[in-house]
Amino acid sequence: MVAASTKAVQATRLVRASLKTVFATISGIRNFTEAFPHITDMEFIASQQYGVGTPFRDTWQQNGREEQTELEAIALVENDRICLTSDAGGSIWQTTFFVNSSGSEVELSLVMGIHPYTWLAMLVMPLYRGFVIEEV
C-alpha cells in the first residue's frame, strides 16, 4: 500500500546562538535532550554516532507515559540541514531541520512529513497531528 501524506507540520524559531552551535545541537543526536525538553533519553543503536545512516532511539514523555521511537539520519548537509526518518504507528515520519543565519540569530526550521500507510493510521492521524503540532 502506498503511504498517503498528511499536511506537513512546520515550525520556525529564532535562536540566539551561532549557526555552528545550533546545527551541532540538532545534528549531534546526543544533544537532542538539550534542544527538546520532552525527550528524556537518547540511545545509539549502532556504533555510528554521527551522519547519514546513524540509527538511534529516543525516549520521550506523552501524557505522562514514556514512549520510544527508533530513528535514522537519512540526509545531512553540514551547517544547513539534517533529515531523520522513523517508521512508527503505521506511519513513516520524516523530519527535516534547517538552519539559516538571520543577523545575530539563527533561524531554526522544522518540517515534519507524516505518511500513514495503514488504515488505522490514516484514520487517527488527523487527531494525532494536533498533538504533534503542540509539541513542536
| Architecture per CATH, 9-135 | 2-Layer Sandwich (3.30)
How long a stretch of residues is the chain?
136
* DSSP assigned state of 45: S
Residue with cell 540566539: 16
Q: What is the pTM of this model?
A: 0.86
Average pLDDT value for residue range 59-83:
92
How many CB atoms are closer than 10 A to CB 77? Answer: 13
Structure confidence at residue 124 as a pLDDT band (50, 70, 90):
confident
Task: Provide the pLDDT confidence category of residue 128 given band limits of 50, 70 and 90.
Answer: low
Q: 15, 105 in Cβ contact below 8 A?
A: yes
Q: Spell out the domain ranges in the chain.
A: 9-135
pLDDT digits (tens, 9 = 90+) for 5-61: 667 888 899 999 999 999 999 998 888 777 787 888 899 999 999 999 999 999 988
CA distances from 119 to 91, 116, 128 (A): 10, 8, 14
Query: Which of residues 46 and 126 earns the better pLDDT score?
Result: 46
